[in-house]
Amino acid sequence: MSKSCADEFHQLRPDLFLWQAYEKAVKTDLTCCACRTEKGFVFVDPIPLRKDAEAELLAIAPPRAIILTSGNHERAAEDYRKRYSIPIYAHADAAAEFSLTPDHTVADGDTVLDEFTVLTIPGAAAGEIALHRGDAVHLGDALIHLPPYGFALLPDKYCTDPKEMRQALGKLLRIPFELLTFAHGLPIVAHARQRLAQLLA
Q: What is the pLDDT of residues 68-127, one digit of tens each?
A: 999 999 999 999 999 999 999 999 999 999 999 999 999 999 999 999 999 999 999 999
**Distances from the Cα of 52 to the Cαs of 10, 13, 56, 59, in angstroms?**
14, 21, 6, 11
Indicate the pLDDT class of residue 2, thresholds 50, 70 and 90. low
Cα dihedral value 87, 5, 55, 140, nearest 10: -40
Position 1 pLDDT exceeds 90? no
Output the average pLDDT for the chain: 96
* Of 146-150, 156-160, 180-184, minimum mean pLDDT range: 146-150
pLDDT at res. 137? 98
Query: Strand 88-91 relative to strand 63-67: parallel, antiparallel, unpaired?
Result: parallel
Which of the four CATH numbers 2.40.50.140, 1.10.3720.10, 3.40.50.300, 3.60.15.10 does domain 10-200 have? 3.60.15.10
- Residues 26-75: tens digit of each pLDDT: 889 999 999 999 999 999 999 999 999 999 999 999 999 999 999 999 99
List the chain domain ranges: 10-200
Full-model pTM: 0.96
Dihedral angle of Cα 173, 44, 36, 114, to the nearest 10 degrees? 60
